[in-house]
């Protein structure tokens, strides 16, 4: 019994520490913001407490997602976008996501290289995040890190992700405005369509527009976009930028502002509802799956079925069905008694 007490006390201490960090975040303290994001990344018992306290203070920032293939100039463009926003008196948070190595669990986070001159600007906060092997490409923690920056009072929060395969589709769950960036010479524009990038773009940017085949790239994309745009209230514009010199960046900011206003007028509620729904569904999935697995493990059923799957006695989907059926039947009979 007496073992319990110190543990309870530790809990209280931890809570107040989380509380302090949250207070710091709300006051815009940089150290607290950094710590809060670490707590989110490490996904411990503290994480949920922190997220819960942050959530009520979010919803003010314009959250912009920027995605596109490696080498298209995302980081360089973000640097210029941030500068332009700063010129206009806005504060900016950046979350740059890079992949975790599936083999070693380590990560090389190099997005700051292009943004280092911004690091001493007190109105800018940049954080590099690794995907830490969560499915979906964007670190699961990204969403919550964005909320921390939002709660800390940043006017603009930019999320940068590498667009390859499924990951960039995830970004619509995080960002209000999605900018898809492409560069001529990276390959066929058809690749961009295949990757599902076209549908999610609120603004399409052809970067490195000083290259000779830039106009052709724009025309190709325009041809496809026109079909996509036909029935949409927001017509995805295609802009040209040269991130290295900053050419075209003010125009991009104008479009970003326009889209923000469009959202506020036309579909803020709809989009917020969608986002809230997807977050609730994901949280339910997460917690339900974890709870079920934990219980099955306790009963030894998890291991038992794992072995059966290994021996090819049953396939994984059927195993899941059986396990869940058992579980819910029991839950139902529990409810009856």
Partner 1 sequence: MQGTRKIRVLIAKPGLDSHDRGAKVVARALRDAGMEVIYTGLRQTPEQIAETALQEDVDVIGLSILSGAHKALFPRIMELLKQKGLTDVMVFAGGIIPEEDIPELKKLGIKGIFGPGTPTETIIHFMLENVPERT
Which residues in this chain contact partner 1 in the complex, by CB under 8 A? Answer: 30-31, 33-35, 37-38, 41-44, 100-101, 104-110, 112-113, 116-117, 119-120, 125-128, 130, 132, 286, 290
| Residue with tokens 């190099």, as numbered in its chain | 110
Q: How far apart are CA 66 and CA 162, in angstroms?
A: 9
- Smallest separation (angstroms) from partner 1 to the CB of 67: 21
Angle of helix 45-55 relative to helix 30-42, nearest 10 degrees? Answer: 130
Nearer to partner 1, 26 or 224 (CB): 26
Coil vs helix vs strand at 29: coil
Q: How far apart are CA 115 and CA 135, in angstroms?
A: 27
- Smallest separation (angstroms) from partner 1 to the CB of 173: 19
Give the rounded distance of the alpha carbon of 323 from its chain centre: 32
- Smallest separation (angstroms) from partner 1 to the CB of 105: 4
Nearer to partner 1, 122 or 333 (CB): 122
Nearer to partner 1, 70 or 105 (CB): 105
Residue 204 β-bridge partners: 180, 238
- Smallest separation (angstroms) from partner 1 to the CB of 29: 10
- Smallest separation (angstroms) from partner 1 to the CB of 298: 16
Angle at 144 between CA 279 and CA 194, to 5 degrees: 65
Q: How far apart are CA 124 and CA 127, in angstroms?
A: 10
| Residue with tokens 């409810």, as numbered in its chain | 335
Nearer to partner 1, 38 or 222 (CB): 38
- Smallest separation (angstroms) from partner 1 to the CB of 281: 17
Q: How far apart are CA 145 and CA 41, in angstroms?
A: 8
């Amino acid at each position: 019994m007496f073992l319990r007490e110190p543990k309870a006390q530790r809990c209280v201490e931890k809570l107040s520490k989380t509380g302090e960090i949250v207070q710091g975040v709300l006051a815009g303290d940089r150290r607290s913001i950094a710590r809060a994001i670490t707590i989110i990344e490490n996904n411990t018992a503290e994480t949920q407490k922190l997220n819960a306290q942050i959530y009520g203070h979010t919803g003010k920032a314009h959250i912009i997602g920027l995605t596109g293939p490696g080498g298209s100039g995302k980081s360089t463009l973000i640097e210029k976008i941030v500068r332009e926003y700063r010129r206009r008196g806005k504060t900016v948070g950046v979350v740059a996501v890079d992949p975790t190595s599936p083999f070693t669990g380590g990560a090389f986070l190099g997005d700051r290289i292009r943004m280092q001159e911004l690091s001493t600007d007190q109105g800018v906060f940049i954080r590099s995040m690794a995907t830490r092997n969560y499915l979906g490409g964007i670190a699961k923690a990204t969403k919550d890190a964005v909320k921390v920056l939002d709660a800390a009072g940043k006017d603009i929060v930019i999320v940068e992700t590498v667009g390859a395969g499924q990951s960039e589709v995830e970004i619509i769950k995080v960002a209000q405005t999605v900018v898809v960036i492409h560069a001529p010479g990276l390959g066929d524009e058809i690749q961009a369509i295949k990757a599902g990038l076209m549908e999610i773009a609120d603004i399409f940017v052809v970067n490195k527009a000083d290259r000779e085949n830039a106009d052709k790239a724009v025309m190709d994309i325009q041809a496809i976009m026109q079909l996509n745009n036909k029935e949409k209230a927001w017509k995805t514009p295609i802009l040209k930028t040269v991130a290295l010199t900053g050419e075209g960046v003010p125009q991009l900011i104008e479009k970003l502002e326009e889209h923000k206003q469009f959202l506020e007028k036309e579909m803020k509620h709809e989009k917020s509802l969608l986002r809230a729904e997807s977050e609730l569904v994901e949280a339910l999935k997460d917690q339900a799956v974890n709870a079920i697995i934990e219980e099955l493990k306790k009963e030894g059923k998890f291991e038992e079925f794992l072995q059966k799957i290994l021996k090819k006695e049953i396939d994984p989907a059927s195993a899941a069905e059986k396990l869940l059926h058992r579980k819910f039947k029991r839950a139902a009979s529990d409810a009856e008694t």
